[in-house]
Amino acid sequence: MPIFFAKRLFQALIAIFGVMTLIFFLQRLAGDPVLLLVPMDASQADIDRMRIALGFDRPVVVQYLEYIGNLLLFDFGRSYVQNIPVAELIRTRLPYTLMLAGGALVVAFGIGIPIGITLAIRRGKPIARVLSGLVLAGQSMPTFWSAILMIMVFGVWLGWAPPSGARQISSIVMPSIALGLLSMATFARVARTAVLDELEKDYVRTGHAKGLPMRRIIFRHLLRNASIPVVTVSALEIANLLAGAVIVETVFAWPGLGQLTIQAITARDFMVVQGVVLLGAITAIGLNLIADLLYSLIDPRIRMGAGS
Amino acid sequence: MSAQPQPVTPAKSARSFDIPWTAMPFLLIVAVMVLLAVAAPLVAPVDPNTQNLLARLKAPGTVSRGVTYILGSDELGRDVLSRLIYGARISLFVAFSSVLLSGTLGSILGMVAAFYRGWVEIVIMRLVDIVLSVPAILFAIITVAVLGPGLVNVVIVLALTRWPRYARVAYGQTLSVANMPYVRLSHFMGASWIRLLGRHVLPNIAGSLAVVATLEFGLMVLFEAGLSFLGLGVQPPMASWGAMLSTGRNYVATAWWIATFPGLALFLLVLSINLIGDHVRDRLDPKAR
Amino acid sequence: MPGLRRITSVLLLAATLGSATFLGGTASAKDLFVVDLVNEPSSLDPQKQWNPDSYYVYRNVFDNLITRNDDGKIAPQIATSWDYKSPSEVVFKLRSDVKFHDGEKLTAEDVAFSVTRIIDPAFKSPQISQFNKIKSAAVTGENEVTITTDGPYPVLLAQLVKLSIVPKHAVEKAGDDAFNAAPVGSGPYKFDRWDRGSLVALARNADYWGDKGPFEKVEFRAVPDAATRLADLQAGNADLIVTLDSDQAKQLESSASAKVLSALTERIAYLKLNPTLPPLDNAKVRQAVAMAIDKQGIVEGLLGGFDKPASQMANDTYFGYVPDIKNVAFDPEAAKKIVEETGAGKTKLSFATSPVFDQRIVQALAQMLSDVGFTVEIQLTDMAAYLKRAQSEPAQQANLAFGRWSCACQDVDGVLFPLLHSSSSWSSLRDPKIDALLVQARNTLDDKERQQAYNGVAKFVADDVPMVPLYEAAVLYGGAKNLQWQPTANESMFLNRMSWND
């Protein structure tokens, strides 16, 4: 086991390094930020001067080596647009992303899990069909559409929550729902499968035969046992939630990393993109690694996750 | 959602792709949409790109210059119904071809990884990790910047970002199949790997891949819409449901019909496909994730 | 971790209140005024980034050497008067009663420092191209500064409108980065705080020497989605929102709580043709493009009448505007004939655009060109890719490109030189005669001689059609009903020129 772990950890580090390298070179194929930084009427000489000042006149390989060198010293570079260190920029945005991912998780988990359990227990009944239809409906709408509808209805017409921003606690409700709806079906499905698995086990049958009330079996024993796969999938889903908030954050003007990502990419703010992607890669690959290890602990045949 | 054969189902076969009657309406919806998309030039009342600046934002039913705007007109005076019908083409084409491309690529890589193990496995599966951790938007912007914008490039973006989903499933499933005695036996007997994968592995894992493909199809319809919202989708004036929806959402309060119809169409399509996928999955393995 | 601390305080606040309250919109006296911008400012140091979102904010924190009044005329601000000592030397007399927000007096030293700082190549200001004709600035008396330019420079004053005065002592003490994070100015509003990614808050400067601001606190928020900004305004979550299109503005006309505020700007929308590539290398075909475009139809049918058809790359407030210029008239039939005769419709014309431009206009233009027989393909890319292509070698540029240009200087030099002179990266024109006229006009202070040169260029644009001037663009804002404010042509947003009626 320790050897397996060390091997996977090493591979994960290589993968993260691969992401950074890939992004570094790919990004530069799409132009640089200089033209966006200078005023429209800047002369070619001014543009060239700016390009030299930012170091884009040097060979890309040199820039890459410098970047890797700095990275090893935990220097993530500076934003060309905002003129502040990337680490500082990410630090100010990260709490919002965590809050939103947390809110979405509460929605997805809080609604998805009970529905999933119901689906398993009431399997084949009309209620199960309706519920599974509802859960699937939640992820069948483009977020940029459902989000603006929510804003119009709850923000403008009913006035229950502010349409956008992050100024008060109620601001987080709508973005959390918009984002959480997407993961809800995944949670429902996992919970359903896990509960179905448990329902077939001997202890449930025995308990049932002994005349224990079903409700008691479910709440006392079954849910605890069914929670392991749910937790594992949650790990992967959290990575999705952290990465998947670009559109939700844009529509709700929520100042998290999703918005920063799209802004940095469109502004060709290379170092910020590198920083955000590095963080994302560590989260995604790290959580994946943990999930893999959990799987291998549960099931020695190492079932790879089917993902979502 | 039942694993029991439905007594009312007329179909006798108990094959895994047998669809229960509850899924029929959704299958019908998808079929109608595909039909409309194929027959768009015959069905659409007018050209979807003809503008009329004098008949902008007209409500459903308005008549102008001899054209009846059954579902209203959009911000450039184009017929929403005709655009909806032509838009089905684009949305379905993008989803279908990107699923086909990413599915093929991902399945092959996944099977190869599981079959060869060792270095091949490590390289492919870490590549999966790498692609999964790069924001899709980044790929989209780079593709547009390097290859230029357009319909084909949208498909390329989607294919490049989605193949890892299939690779993971193919990999996991192949691992278990490849260890089965008869597969090992034919391997010892000297069967080529292409034959092995095609003959023994693929038929065994096709079901799971089909489930992933179905769910991905719905997602691809949504992703195309998302790309349009971010200005990275199909090129104007081409109509796609995503593009119609992303401009139409600016008119929610004044011209509801521009966004509502493509939004509804998109919702119905994705929901139908998700429900069908759910049924298929249930049928294949009642407990599969 | 200020971020975390802020969140904890938000949580505490919510816990104490029990439920959320609207902070904006409902207070009886207008204590908090909320502006929805598109993006957050990229910089609050006025000598660094110069983009609309930064400019809207920091122009309220800083005073400039000179400014423009609501009519667009150059007016005193920190400088009270100025004289040309020689064609390349201007002497500015300064106010003596101005104090920075930290209480220090604003002196001639600060003015000279501000100029020297922005023209220093080591400072790497992106705005340097607007000031690089300035050679030096020196204190030449009490409350007097002399600016020396590299030869006669007719647009110096127009450029100095964009020069904000920063406090020498604060910049030198804090350093550039810290100053950018917490700027100190002398304007009607003081910097309060900057929640990265979310908002910049300003507070009223009660000791301001000029017109004081009407609101105690102001927040500039970043709201990238136009539909969300509109919702914010309608819900009272914002009091002023920027960057609406005419259809979004129409939605506000029926609103009980909000209204449209608009002004014609210095911005001219144009369709640029690439005369180096066939079939647009033929002047006749270019004229056919001009004939195919119904400017009136676009302005009235699509833009809701806020904008005004343009006859040239300037409006009548510009220096160098040519009255009564004759354009190629709208005549689709004649255009059709030319396209047919020349076979121009056989070549696919690429039409470059970016999401920041109004896609309705781009699609309408493409349709008008298709109607007369051209084959047009719209190529929508993000702004960086659009700029890269627009500024590459002429042969790599698109056949057609839509753009909106403003030099914010009300002088045609700022528009015609970058778009037409062969040395400019934007230009796909290579015409020595036009180059000569543009250079001649740029290097003299003689208004008559300059006007004559620009007459020639304007006539060339009208007849030879290297670009089709489309319309003088309006800027549209959405404002709360109670807000009194007249937007200006130079697209600035001065809070102390607003008022609030309860």
Residue B3 reports pLDDT greater than 60: no
- In this complex, do B172 and A305 lie within 8 Å of one another by their Cβ atoms? yes
Asked if A83 has any chain C CB less than 8 Å from its own CB, the reply is yes
Phi first, then psi, for residue B242 (nearest 5°) are: -65, -45
Q: Which residues pair with C146 in a beta bridge?
A: C91, C138
Bridge-based pairing state of the strands C348-353 and C400-405: parallel
A307 at B interface, C-beta within 8 A: yes
Eight-class DSSP state of C377: E
Say yes or no for a CB contact (<8 Å) between C129 and A151.
Answer: no
pLDDT digits (tens, 9 = 90+) for C454-475: 999 999 999 999 999 999 999 9
Total residues belonging to chain C: 502
Residue C4 has pLDDT above 60, yes or no: no
Give mean pLDDT, residues A278-299: 78
Contact A31 C385 (CB under 8 A): yes
Cβ contacts below 8 Å, chain A against chain C, sum to 177
Judge whether C222 and C40 are in contact, CB under 8 Å.
Answer: yes
Residue B34 pLDDT exceeds 90: yes
Rounded-to-integer distance, Cα A271 and Cα A79, Å: 6
Distance of CA C484 to the CA centre of its chain: 22
Decide: C460 and C216 in contact? Cβ < 8 Å.
no
Question: What pLDDT score does A244 carry?
Answer: 58
* Helices and strands in chain C: count of H runs, count of E runs: 17, 19
pLDDT tens-digit readout, C142-168 = 899 999 999 888 889 988 998 999 999
Q: Which of A198-212, B158-172, C209-223, C422-436 has the lowest mean pLDDT?
A: A198-212
In chain C, residues under CATH classification 3.10.105.10 are: 265-473
Tokens of C210: 């000029």
Q: Closest Cα of chain A to B242: distance in Å?
A: 8
- Residues of chain C above pLDDT 90, percent: 70
Residues near C171 by beta carbon (within 8 Å), at least 6 away in sequence: C113, C117, C179
Whether A273 contacts A264, CB under 8 Å? yes
Cβ <8 Å between A132 and B1: yes
Reported as a pLDDT band with limits 50, 70 and 90, residue B285 is low
**Global pTM value:** 0.88
As for the ipTM of the complex, it is 0.87
A265 at B interface, C-beta within 8 A:
yes
Would you tell me which residues 253-272 of chain B have a C-beta closer than 8 angstroms to some C-beta of chain C?
253-254
Residue A148 sits at the chain B interface (C-beta within 8 Å): yes
Rounded to the nearest angstrom, the minimum Cα separation between A153 and chain C is: 10
Q: Which residue of B lies nearest to A137 if distances are taken between CA atoms?
A: B271
> Which carries the bigger pLDDT value, residue A122 or residue C205?
C205
B34/C contact by beta carbon, under 8 A: no
pLDDT tens profile C276-325: 998 999 999 999 999 999 999 999 999 988 999 999 999 988 999 999 89
How high is the mean pLDDT of chain B? 85
Residue C275: partners with Cβ closer than 8 Å, 6 or more residues away: C281, C286, C428, C429, C466
Q: What value does the mean pLDDT take over residues C373-388?
A: 92
**Residue ranges of chain C that CATH labels 3.90.76.10:** 2-20+41-179
Q: Taking CA atoms, what residue in B is nearest to C385?
A: B145
pLDDT band, residue C169 (cuts 50/70/90)? very high
Residues of A in contact with C438 (CB under 8 A): none
CA of C258 vs chain A CAs: smallest distance (Å): 13
Has residue B132 got a pLDDT over 50? Answer: yes
Most confident of A294-308, B56-70, B172-186, C260-274: C260-274
Please state which of the ranges B64-68, B158-162, B263-267, C30-34 shows the lowest mean pLDDT: B64-68
Q: Which of the four pLDDT bands, split at 50, 70 and 90, describes residue A295?
A: low
Q: What percent of chain A has pLDDT above 70?
A: 94
What topology does CATH give the domain C2-20+41-179?
Dipeptide-binding Protein; domain 1 (3.90.76)
Cβ <8 Å between B137 and A262: yes
- CB contacts of C388 in chain B (<8 Å) are 145
Instruction: Identify the burial level of A65 via C-beta atoms within 10 angstroms of its C-beta, where 0-12 means exposed, 13-18 middle and 19 or more buried.
Output: exposed
Phi-psi region of B231 (alpha: psi -120 to 50; beta: other; left: phi over 0): left
Q: How many CB pairs under 8 A join B and C?
A: 70
Q: What is the DSSP string of A94-149?
A: HHHHHHHHHHHHHHHHHHHHHHHHHHHHTTTSHHHHHHHHHHHHHTSS-HHHHHHH
* pLDDT tens, residue by residue, A41-71: 788 888 888 899 889 999 999 999 999 999 9
Residues of A in Cβ contact (< 8 Å) with C391: 35, 47
* One-letter identity of residue C315: N
Residues A156-190 have pLDDT tens digits of: 999 998 999 888 888 999 999 999 998 898 889 88
What is the CA C63 to chain-centroid distance, rounded? 18
* Of A26, A190, A307, Cβ closest to residue B142: A26
Between B180 and C398, the higher pLDDT residue: C398
Per-residue pLDDT, A306: 35
Which domains can be identified in chain A, with CATH numbers? 93-267 (1.10.3720.10)
pLDDT of residue A231: 74
For A126-160, what is each residue's pLDDT tens digit?
888 889 888 889 889 999 999 999 999 999 999 99
From B197's Cα to the closest Cα of chain C, the distance in A is 42
Inter-chain CB proximity C382 and A266 less than 8 Å = yes
Residue B44 distance to chain A (closest CA, Å): 25
Ranked by mean pLDDT, the top range of A22-36, B19-33, C124-138, C284-298 is C284-298
* Amino acid in the structure at residue A92: T
Which residues are C75's β-sheet partners?
A: C67
Give, as one character, the DSSP assignment of residue C473: E
Whether B129 sits inside 8 A of A284 (CB atoms) is yes
Which of B9-18, C185-194, C313-322 is modeled with the greatest confidence?
C185-194
Listed residue (A138, A156, B72) closest to C228, CA to CA: A156
Query: Of residues C62 and A298, which shows the higher confidence score?
Result: C62
Which residues, in sequence order, are CB contacts of B130 under 8 Å at separation 6+? A15, A18, A19, A22, A281
How would you list the strands of the sheet with C144-149, edge to edge? C79-86, C89-94, C144-149, C134-141
Q: Is the dihedral of CA A266, A270, A271, A273 positive or negative?
A: positive
Please tell me if residue A21 touches chain B, with a CB cutoff of 8 Å: no
Q: Does residue C28 surpass a pLDDT of 50?
A: no
Question: What class does CATH assign to C265-473?
Answer: alpha beta
Count CB atoms within 10 A of the CB of residue B94.
27
Flag whether pLDDT at A215 surpasses 50. yes
Q: Which amino acid is at C131?
A: F
Local confidence band at A308 (pLDDT 50, 70, 90 cut-offs): very low
Alpha-carbon distances of B61 from B66, B68, B82, rounded to whole Å? 12, 6, 14
Q: What average pLDDT score do residues A3-24 get?
A: 87
Identify all chain A residues contacting C227, using CB atoms and an 8 Å cutoff: 148, 151, 251
Q: Do B275 and A133 touch (CB under 8 A)?
A: yes
CA-based nearest distance B125→chain A, Å: 9
pLDDT tier for residue B115 given thresholds of 50, 70 and 90: confident
**pLDDT above 70 coverage of chain B, percent:** 91
CA-angle at B92, arms to A129 and C349, nearest 5°: 155
Q: Which residues does A12 contact at the CB level (< 8 Å), separation at least 6?
A: A285, A286, A288, A289, B129
Closest residue in C to A32 (Cα–Cα): C384
- Radius of gyration for chain A, computed over Cα atoms and rounded to the nearest angstrom: 24
What average pLDDT does the segment B21-28 reach? 83
Chain B environment of C382 (Cβ under 8 Å): 141, 144-145, 231-232
Across the interface, do A145 and B135 touch by the CB < 8 Å criterion?
no
